[in-house]
Structure 1
């Protein structure tokens, strides 16, 4: 019974990871990249096999402790295509003591 539970848990994890397809930015034009983000609303964009990030259609997708920043990605036709928004952690250090 324990083995069955472990196998089922592994299958769920593997299925979730497979669902998050990486879109290689350099394979698409800037217009196609923007259209993909607009359609999917949240996309994992990859510049290479090791460099990737989650990009959202708008900055409202960020959590309360995050802020939206423009996500400029290299595309097939534009070096810095504004593909959408990425979430970055807000700086909690105000610099005051």
Structure 2
């Protein structure tokens, strides 16, 4: 009986409800920096239809990637350093394949 109850509860919960991405444009620069520092890697909303994955350090990137500083518009700073973006060190900046 317990096994069925546990399974029923698990199925009733379903997939986790999607949580909205944090919006850096609504945060202060310090709050955005603290979010990245605390989370390590986070996908944030950067505009009405844009988003970015920001990381604390290279440890949150794949082995073939390096980091590039990421500056975003926040509520109080137009060009706030929030962390880094992971970039492919072999193809970043090249056009085409």
TM-score normalised by structure 1 residue count: 0.70
Aligned-residue Cα RMSD (Å) equals 1.9
Report if the CA contact (8 A) 2:42-2:54 is conserved: yes
Determine the structure 2 residue equivalent to 1:35: 34
Determine the structure 2 residue equivalent to 1:82: 81
Q: What is the count of residue pairs matched by the alignment?
A: 79
Tell me which stretches of 4 or more aligned residues in structure 1 moved more than 6 Å: none
Specify the SS of the correspondent of 2:85.
strand
Hey, which of these two has a bigger chunk of helix by percent? Answer: 1
Identify unmatched segments of 5+ residues in structure 2: 1-10, 92-97
Specify the SS of the correspondent of 1:26.
helix
